[in-house]
Chain A
């Protein structure tokens, strides 16, 4: 390795029986980057993060976090990371403060700063007033907030956030975004996050990877992806449809038809609109807007909803692996 990469994977693969959840993934993430993982349900985001944080063994391939091999040096990896899981993992029968205190002990926060850290993160997520209530009396969003507080409390070098702002109100989300940005800028914390909120990815991430069926299908900065892939979106309603002739135009990148409307991705619509309308003939309706990350996402991953394949017989359910 020439440049030090805080997260690096080489052909990292995880198979669950027939399903390949993560498929020969190669990634390099630098120090202080905020890196976003986007992908439809079941794309393999959580599986990837689970492997990187050493709670899941890869089927094949290798990966390093903070320079340590995730399999051979898992103890050192665990010393370097913080994680907010997609599934809540706070303890219902402990209070907020007790959950945090336990985390302090488990993650080796120095004794003299423990109390101060707890107060800091409680105020970050605005839970000071509820700190001494049992978690089972918290609302869903409040749990999420406590979980976030816990993940950052020990000031990890590398932070994994699996859908961190799921179910949070807009105020809290803004707050958290600001904090995440500051972590990356001031503390040089490297952050890998997954999200289904495109505005979150745009707001935070320097680079994003779109993954689908365990493979990276696109990787770049949100801005570049938007410019490169979708440009502008033109929506047209018209009667005579000849999609194929439109596809031949060099400034048109993609044509999709849905509900009687044509969706065209166009490089620089302001320049080519006139020409386009000459090709389409008379139209009933036209709308032009700039492409969004959402368009990029749909471009790469299609529009159909993914279904999870439920599998596993008696013994698979009974045995762990």
Chain B
């Protein structure tokens, strides 16, 4: 009983600190508001002017679900870099000598990153309404939950990488090798049904493909896999990523 309370309080303590810092570091908050705009208008308007509508949707709306996933992917994965800064600034030591389970520390950090990403999602959903993406109250809730799951998985991956490296430069190097393949082979920017065999294979083993597919299903109503399969794949992926996260934090 005591153990449970201390674990929960540990999670809360770490999360609260992350949330406060997120609000106090104005740059982080501002970038959360601005980067989704860049995504949608940069990609949508830029590429959209050269591509005709896909599946009956204007390109900007067609890629909207993909942009949702990508915004979450990027901000979630990059969140792992803060653990390196925490370590560099020695703040992490205070948390690591604390008698709370490392799983709690991990969970607190993870939820901090998820909070960060979901604030962006809220901005993006508002933008979605403005660009006339076909959103309904139900699909907004479904999209939010799916993005939450994706964010949990991706923040965990970012934290795993951050916990195992010690320099921010090293982190950027590694994260690029993780992020771009996930991004390009997910079908976020193009439909995945008419691809060459090897690309089809690459996209089908990418867990994020299922996230994008689910979001497209939820928002646009067009999808390749059943939504429950998409959700199951992301769930399994998130659980594995969290497990790796806890292990990495135990070794810190």
List chain A positions with a Cβ less than 8 A from chain B. Answer: 53-55, 75, 78-79, 81, 83, 85, 87-94, 98, 102-103, 105-108, 134, 150, 317-320
Contacts and interface: CB of A to CB of B under 8 A. Distances in A.
B97 A103 contact: no
Given A108-B99, A317-B166, A55 B25 contact: no
Given A91-B17, A108-B9, A79 B99 contact: yes
Given A78-B97, A78-B98, A318-B167, A91 B91 contact: yes
B101 interface: yes
A105 to B, nearest CB: 4
B20 A105 contact: no
A53 B94 CA distance: 11
Given A93-B21, A105-B9, A75 B90 contact: no
A317 B173 CA distance: 13
Contacts of B24: 93, 134
Sorting the interface of chain B by its residue count into under 10, 10 to 19, 20 to 34 or 35 or more gives 20 to 34
Contacts of B97: 53-55, 78, 81, 83
Nearest to A86: B90
Given A94-B20, A105-B12, A318-B173, 5 more contacts: A75-B99, A81-B97, A87-B90, A107-B99, A318-B170
B10 interface: yes
A204 B84 CA distance: 37
Contacts of A93: 20-21, 24-25
B6 interface: yes
A87 B91 CA distance: 9
A306 to B, nearest CB: 22
B49 interface: no
A83 B94 CA distance: 9
Nearest to B163: A320
Contacts of B25: 93
Closest 5 CB pairs of A and B: A105-B13, A106-B98, A318-B170, A79-B99, A78-B99
